[in-house]
């Protein structure tokens, strides 16, 4: 059993891999410095190691401090020093970013997984704390892309930076024209971001001079697909863990 860990800005995802396949995934809310989260992590790791006898641990992280803390816990609990993507494992994909080290390892890993599992050219949309759009050339090279605030981040910014707009529950709107402030914000989040995804795919394809397939991942991917008009090749919630499985 291999434990693949995705350390994001909002959550820490744990993917359990056997024979290169994802058997199941668990997630814990990421709150740096929280004693409750630390206790949850200790209990989770001890329970997982006792149940599965973990043989290898791989980490993909965009939060360096959490990576260091979790690496120490993993070594103590499992006896295995985790392999860090980008440090111990080099991603086998050509990176055309102007400054290659600036690209988040999660973006590169998802692009690599899409190339291997779905082919290229492609646009990878990851709906996390931030929404990222990443292009893969027909040869499977990582081209770069775009980053915008995610749904939850945008909703919180509206609440925090305005005097009269309320904090809303992020839920699918029933129609485009909202008949209350809450419905209007929900419409803007889902229909607005759906239109944004359509427009970005179109513009990325024009710049790439091809018709890329679209693969989506992340917390709101399943829902957002329904608000897009562009054809989506696949929604893959386990994409980043499958990428780590391929590397393992």
CB burial of 121-131 (b: ≥16 within 10 Å; e: otherwise) equals bbbbbbbbbbb
DSSP state of 75: H
User: What are 210's two structure tokens?
Assistant: 């091809």
Instruction: Write down the residue that tokens 């980043």 correspond to.
Output: 240
| Set 6, 106, 134, 236: catalytic member | 106
Q: Residue 100: how many CB atoms within 10 A of its CB? A: 11
Tokens of 3: 């434990």
Q: Name the 3-class secondary structure at 22.
A: strand
Indicate the DSSP class of residue 60.
Answer: E
Q: How many CA atoms lie within 13 A of 39 on its CB side?
A: 3
How many other CB atoms are there within 10 angstroms of residue 197's CB atom? 25
List, in order, residues 6 or more apart from 78 with CB less than 8 Å away.
3, 45, 49, 54, 57
Rounded Cα distance between 53 and 107, Å, is 30
- Structure tokens belonging to residue 38: 């630390």
Look up 141 and say whether it is catalytic.
no
CB atoms within 10 A of CB 73: 16
Active site residues: 106
């Amino acid at each position: 059993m291999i434990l693949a860990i995705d350390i994001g800005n909002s959550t820490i995802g744990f993917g359990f891999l056997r024979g290169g396949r994802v058997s199941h995934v668990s997630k814990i809310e990421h709150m740096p410095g929280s004693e409750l989260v630390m206790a949850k992590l200790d209990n989770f790791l001890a329970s997982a190691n006792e149940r599965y006898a973990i043989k290898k641990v791989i980490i993909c992280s965009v939060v360096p401090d959490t990576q260091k803390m979790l690496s120490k816990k993993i070594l103590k609990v499992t006896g295995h020093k985790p392999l860090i993507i980008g440090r111990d494992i080099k991603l086998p994909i050509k990176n055309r970013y102007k400054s290659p080290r600036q690209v988040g390892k999660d973006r590169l890993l998802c692009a690599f997984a899409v190339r291997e599992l779905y082919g290229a050219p492609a646009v990878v949309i990851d709906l996390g704390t931030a929404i990222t759009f990443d292009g893969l050339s027909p040869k499977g090279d990582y081209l770069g892309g775009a980053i915008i605030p995610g749904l939850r981040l945008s909703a919180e910014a509206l609440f925090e930076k305005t005097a009269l707009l309320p904090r809303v529950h992020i839920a699918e709107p029933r129609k485009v024209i909202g008949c209350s402030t809450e419905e209007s914000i929900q419409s803007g989040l889902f229909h607005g971001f759906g239109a944004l995804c359509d427009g970005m795919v179109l513009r990325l394809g024009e710049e790439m001079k091809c018709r890329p397939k679209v693969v989506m991942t992340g917390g709101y991917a399943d829902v957002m697909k329904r608000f897009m008009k562009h054809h989506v090749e696949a929604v893959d919630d386990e994409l980043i863990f499958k990428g780590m499985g391929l590397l393992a």
